[in-house]
Amino acid sequence: MEMALYEPGLGYYASDRGVIGKSGDYYTSPHLHFAFGSVTGRQIEEMWHIMGAPSVFHIIEIGAGAGYLCKDILDSLKGRDIFKSIRYVIVERSPLARKRHEKLLAGYADTTKWVSSPEEVGRVSGCILSNELLDSFPVHIVEMEDDLKEVYVQVNGEDFVEVKDSPVSDAIAAYLEEFSVKLSWGYRTEINLRIKDWLASVDKILQEGFIVTIDYGYPAVEYYSEDRNRGTLLCYHRHQVHENPYSNIGDQDLTAHVNFSSVKKWGEDLGIKTIGFCRQGLFLIALGIDRIINDLGQDSKEYLFEVQKIKGLILPGTMGDTHKVLIQYKGSGAPELKGFSVRNQAGRL
């Protein structure tokens, strides 16, 4: 999975073949409508006020996709008091993606910069933001037989074949114990250990502020339920979803849902507090996405089309249902955020 996604010049995210949007393989929320970034910007502005309206406020976006989220956030905050404080840093190791970002964000050249890794950012205060990042971290596949097995990949002629053997690390069994996961015979699933390393890297650069994680996934009790006994690893190719990671290698996206309980637990182990967790739709509604619908103007020829796209961000059965928002905080106290004023389900994690 690491090579298929990130091998320089060949991996899906490391070449010019990984395209998001109508002409690509899948959509993300920023592609659906600018309202997603605009409302996210409002939440970030509240964070800025909570932190005392500092003169320098970093927004660190890790894995910025096509750059639309950055543009929509900055568009929404332009002209507001916070804007002069913003230093927007995009962490992106793909030179091709960076070129696309720079073209899209040319109007914000004085506000934005790019780095290849979080470590290059240095110690900052502000907000660390990711949208559909953690689901693209390479995962371990395990399957329960008489004892726990890990699924490995070998080559047979020109074909890839799976073989099962003892887990590569004791960390696999430790993970299952940590999240009270009991696998029945034949149960196959994923384990994402990279999230722990990612949180450690984020903790090193964040002096004070918020970590916003938006992705699809579940609390551990739902992720490892009996009715999800084949796991969540999926492939996206030309807007078709399938379960064969050994086809279209380098030409398709590979993802696995996020165990949000691990993000909460491992963050708290580092002293990072969990502020809130809920469905994306409830988060956006709490922040007033309905006002954007009203601002569109019902007499506009595009009104119904625009409203339909916004519905795809908030309604059950859409990204509003499948995607979740988790916000963590590093600092004193436990601030309350408007995004969780409708519902906060952090207790489910």
- Does the pLDDT at position 140 exceed 70? yes
SS3 336: coil
Q: How confident is the model at residue 291 (pLDDT cuts 50, 70, 90)?
A: confident
Rg (CA), the chain: 20
Looking at every residue in the chain, the average pLDDT score rounds to 93
Considering the domain architecture, whether residues 100 and 144 belong to the same structural domain is answered as: no
- Last residue of one domain, picked from the residues 163, 190, 217: 190
Check residue 51 and report its DSSP letter.
T
pLDDT, tens only, 30-48? 888 899 999 999 999 999 9
Mean pLDDT of the 135-150 span? 97
- Does the pLDDT at position 349 exceed 90? yes
- Last residue of one domain, picked from the residues 190, 205, 223: 190
Q: How many domains does the chain have?
A: 2
Cite the beta strand spans of the chain per DSSP E. 57-62, 86-91, 112-115, 124-131, 140-144, 148-156, 159-165, 188-191, 206-218, 234-237, 240-242, 253-255, 258-259, 273-279, 323-330
Q: How confident is the model at residue 299 (pLDDT cuts 50, 70, 90)?
A: low
What pLDDT score does 302 carry? 80
What pLDDT score does 106 carry? 96
Considering the domain architecture, whether residues 159 and 113 belong to the same structural domain is answered as: no
Q: How confident is the model at residue 28 (pLDDT cuts 50, 70, 90)?
A: confident
Range of the domain at 225: 2-137+192-348
Mean pLDDT of the 205-216 span? 98
- Rounded to 5 degrees, φ, ψ at 241 are -105, 130
Stronger pLDDT, 331 or 302, i.e. the higher one: 331
Considering the domain architecture, whether residues 168 and 223 belong to the same structural domain is answered as: no
Mean pLDDT of the 62-67 span? 92
CATH number, domain of 90, equals 3.40.50.12710
pLDDT, tens only, 81-112? 999 999 999 999 888 889 999 999 999 999 99
- Does the pLDDT at position 264 exceed 60? yes
What pLDDT score does 300 carry? 67
